[in-house]
Amino acid sequence: MPLSGTLDVAPRLADAPKLDNYDTEAWEIAGVELLSLTFEIDDRQMTAALPPALHPTIPPVAYFSVAAYPESPIGPFALAQVRVGCRASALPRGFLLRAYSDSPAACDALGRRWGYQCLPADVRLRRYHDRVVGTVAVDGREVLRASLLDPQPISGGSIFHVSTMNLARADDDGGRGVLVQVDPAYTFHRAERGAPEVATFERDAWNAEGIELVWPVTATFVRCDTGFPRIRYVLDAQQPARTGTRKLR
């Protein structure tokens, strides 16, 4: 059977957010701008970056994203994420290593409601005619600069955004931690594709020690309606997704 993650979940749980409950209401947000980059990563970390519930992709990949949400119940915010590509059983997913937002209120809400390990930072998304640039700076130190170069229009229907798996703590997790599946829908209004470039990636700021980018795959920039849905599934982080998935609704 396929390889499985070997991440020791316990130390990560110490910093993981605590869910209020599983009865999260959805946030549906229009006019979101979303920059996404995909890179193949060094296979030495292909299992170490993932909890035992998940399988690595072959080749292993990392997803970088920077998004601007123009409105939400806690106001506008930007959100940057670094995820590792994986499979939950047979389904494509991205396991969140860490997120940053320019809104402390968003960090709090995303953590309590959807399990995002999200810290405050200066998160910016800038669109130019020759590139789209997402940056994250923590206390003045740039920890991510990710760009899409030479954007070309494509159909949004060609884009496949993988859903996210967030490691969190919950009242009923028995101290083992849960993976929260965040699987928003997307309605695309504009989509572009280009070459990905990561000029700055400070791994220690992203729980990404050992993650080496070895091969660029692609970058996309979209304007879409999306958001954060109600939580439908949670997984035991430490057993295979096939047997450790709990359906909530």
Q: Which residues bind another protein (CB under 8 A)?
A: 1-3, 38, 40, 55, 57-59, 61, 85, 87-93, 154-155, 157-160, 162, 181, 183, 191, 193, 215, 217-218, 220, 232-233, 235, 241-247
Specify the residue, 52 or 77, whose C-beta has the smaller distance to another protein.
Answer: 52
Residue 112 has what DSSP assignment?
Answer: H
Distance of closest approach, residue 98 Cβ to another protein, in angstroms: 22
Using alpha carbons only, what angle is made at residue 93 by residues 84 and 152, rounded to the nearest 5 degrees?
80
Please choose, from the candidates 106, 145, 138, the residue with its C-alpha nearest in 3D space to the C-alpha of residue 122: 138
Q: In this structure, are residues 120 and 100 in contact, taking their beta carbons and an 8 Å threshold? A: yes
State how far the Cα of 192 lies from the Cα of 182, in Å rounded to an integer: 24
Specify the residue, 107 or 191, whose C-beta has the smaller distance to another protein.
Answer: 191
Specify the residue, 110 or 235, whose C-beta has the smaller distance to another protein.
Answer: 235
Distance of closest approach, residue 172 Cβ to another protein, in angstroms: 17
Distance of closest approach, residue 156 Cβ to another protein, in angstroms: 9
Distance of closest approach, residue 204 Cβ to another protein, in angstroms: 27
Specify the residue, 58 or 199, whose C-beta has the smaller distance to another protein.
Answer: 58
> What is the enclosing helix (H) or strand (E) of 63?
strand 61-69
Distance of closest approach, residue 53 Cβ to another protein, in angstroms: 8
Task: Go through the chain and tell me how many residues it has.
Answer: 249
DSSP assignment of 129-178? SSEEEEEEEETTEEEEEEEEEEEEE--GGG--PPEEEEEEB-TTSTTS-E
Q: In this structure, are residues 155 and 191 in contact, taking their beta carbons and an 8 Å threshold? A: yes
Specify the residue, 187 or 209, whose C-beta has the smaller distance to another protein.
Answer: 187
Q: In this structure, are residues 102 and 122 in contact, taking their beta carbons and an 8 Å threshold? A: yes
Specify the residue, 57 or 103, whose C-beta has the smaller distance to another protein.
Answer: 57
Phi, psi of 176 (to 5 degrees): -90, -15
